[in-house]
Chain A
Amino acid sequence: MFLKEYFKTIYLTIRSLLKGMKTTGYYFTHQKEIITEQYPEVRPVLAERFKGEVIMPHNEANEHSCTGCQACEIACPNGTIKIVTKNEINAEGKKKKAIDTFVYHLELCTMCNLCVVACPSDAIVMANNYEHSVFDRREFTKVLNKPGSKIMEGIE
């Protein structure tokens, strides 16, 4: 009965292989549907929660809400964020800590969202932008606060 088993194996193998070839052959001859997205022409629809890069929103008066507390810098697992602070003297003559530059290294960022969670004043958020390729890697080092911007009133 060994021979019967032997030929049965061959028969079953050939049948299953032909079944596979029938499937791919059907796809080859019936080209009505393409499952891949034709990217530059068709843009993907992204969810709101998609994490593309860290940005700092500014309002119309060029104001952000970053206090320079450096919680995000501490929360970041791989040193993506560097905050340079300065001391500003406000109207009452008191010294106050503020950000000078908010440096963000996009090339190091893993989009883990921990900085956004850590921020007490919701100054940074994740943007939906995903097209990050540039010709020079220095362009990945970004300064998130816009030049001349200052902190919004009433945020401590």
Chain B
Amino acid sequence: MISLEGLTTLLQTWLQNTLGEPWAFAAESVLVGIAAITLFAFLGLALVYMERKVAALMQIRLGPNRVGPKGIFQTSADTLELVMKEGLTADGADKFLFNLAPFMVMIAAMLVLAPIAFARNFQIWDLSIGVLYVAAVSSVAVIGILMAGWSSNNKYSLLGAMRSAAQIVSYELSAGLSILAIVILTGSLRISDIINSQADGWWIIKGHLPVLIAFIVFLIAVTAETNRAPFDLAEAESELTAGFHTEYSGMKFALFFLAEYVNIFIVCAIGATLFLGGWMPFHIGGWDSFNHVMDFIPSSLWFFGKTMFLIFLIMWFRWTFPRLRVDQLLNLEWKYLLPISMVNLLLVTFMAIMGWHL
């Protein structure tokens, strides 16, 4: 059976036979980089199209339907337009930081890609502290946002960046605590261990109510962390024109835009890995014949299916809920999500010690 795992092993043996050990590693690194960039470009195009279609259908509209069949080339045409536009640098801006900021945001998004397992044994880097790495690196993006807001020398940009910083710093807490619930149940920070521990059922099923609560808290927190509606105060267009990227145009704006969608994909991939079993097919402990049937569906399809489901859920939030005020946003985090996830963490720990999970 053709699988991504077989493809990579085939490539590796071929490279090692033809190039030798050090050069094969270098060639593999370059190939991984190209693959990551291609994935990002494709994700940007596909997710923007998906978002516009989902938005349209939820608002009883048609959405993009002119460029290509059902408008599938609309986002490619938009990208072409952005590439051809001039990337202006404002006169009063801090030029170096202004031009550096979009790359910071993009690089932070790319770094988080490393420990994500896309299919069975198909992972860039299975480091032993995968979950900690994700939690740490994903918060670096806020530096890029702050940098963009500060260097633009524009009050709207600065306000948007400050809001974004306050928001990400607060919601990081409850996102971290809900991730911790799974780490406690698994007993490992390694992504592959977490996925393998779900071979007899996903954590959202095995973990009863506490994991379900952790999952909901995680979803709310990552929606806030990616600055998406209903938590899009950082770029609230009715108050701050476009927030931290008011002054950006052309490809530099496109990088921010792309980073937003890549971040959504990444947090949804993390959510799918932790709570829905990553590439692990739908297994029920003890039902061996049923599990065997489920194994016939390729693991990459399971992973992308779950991730797309979570992305759809987050898009559904965006096109349903109105934006929160700043005080409501901080109330939600500090008065509701944080206490709930702390108590929940206690419950999960108790459950793990007593061995009550399935």
**Which A residues contact B (CB, under 8 angstroms)?**
10, 17, 20-21, 23-25, 27-28, 31, 33-36, 38
**CB of B316 within 8 Å of the partner chain:** yes
Q: By CB atoms of chain B within 10 A, which of A23, A24, A25, A31 has the most?
A: A24
Cβ of B320 and Cβ of A20 under 8 Å apart? Answer: yes
Give the residues in chain B near A38, CB-CB below 8 Å. Answer: 62
CB within 8 A of B60: which of A10, A21, A34?
A34
A33 to B319, CA, bound (A): 18
Residues 275-321 of B at the A interface (beta carbon under 8 Å): 316-317, 319-321
Cβ of A27 and Cβ of B336 under 8 Å apart? Answer: no
Cβ of A25 and Cβ of B316 under 8 Å apart? Answer: yes
Give the residues in chain A near B58, CB-CB below 8 Å. Answer: 24-25, 27-28
Give the residues in chain B near A23, CB-CB below 8 Å. Answer: 320
Chain B residue nearest in CB terms to A40: B66
Give the residues in chain A near B59, CB-CB below 8 Å. Answer: 27
- Given known pairs A10-B336, A36-B62, the reply for A21 and B57 (CB within 8 Å) is no
**Which B residues contact A (CB, under 8 angstroms)?**
54, 57-62, 316-317, 319-321, 336
Cβ of B61 and Cβ of A21 under 8 Å apart? Answer: no
Chain B residue nearest in CB terms to A10: B336
Chain A residue nearest in CB terms to B313: A21
Cβ of A27 and Cβ of B316 under 8 Å apart? Answer: no
A115 to B236, CA, bound (A): 41
Chain A residue nearest in CB terms to B59: A27
A23 to B316, CA, bound (A): 11
Cβ of A34 and Cβ of B61 under 8 Å apart? Answer: yes
- With A24-B316, A27-B59 given, can you name 19 additional A-B contacts, CB distance below 8 Å? A10-B336, A17-B320, A17-B321, A20-B320, A21-B316, A24-B319, A24-B320, A25-B316, A27-B57, A27-B60, A28-B54, A31-B57, A33-B60, A34-B60, A34-B61, A34-B62, A35-B60, A36-B60, A38-B62
A20 to B58, CA, bound (A): 11
Give the residues in chain A near B321, CB-CB below 8 Å. Answer: 17, 20
A21 to B60, CA, bound (A): 14
Give the residues in chain B near A31, CB-CB below 8 Å. Answer: 57
24 intermolecular pairs with C-beta atoms under 8 Å apart: A10-B336, A17-B320, A17-B321, A21-B316, A21-B317, A21-B320, A23-B320, A24-B316, A25-B58, A25-B316, A27-B57, A27-B58, A27-B59, A28-B54, A28-B58, A28-B316, A31-B57, A33-B60, A34-B60, A34-B62, A35-B61, A36-B60, A36-B61, A38-B62
Give the residues in chain B near A25, CB-CB below 8 Å. Answer: 58, 316
Q: By CB atoms of chain A within 10 A, which of B60, B61, B319 has the most?
A: B60
Give the residues in chain A near B57, CB-CB below 8 Å. Answer: 27-28, 31
CB proximity of B211 to chain A, nearest CB, Å: 17
A25 to B312, CA, bound (A): 11
Chain A residue nearest in CB terms to B319: A24
Chain A residue nearest in CB terms to B339: A6
A24 to B320, CA, bound (A): 6
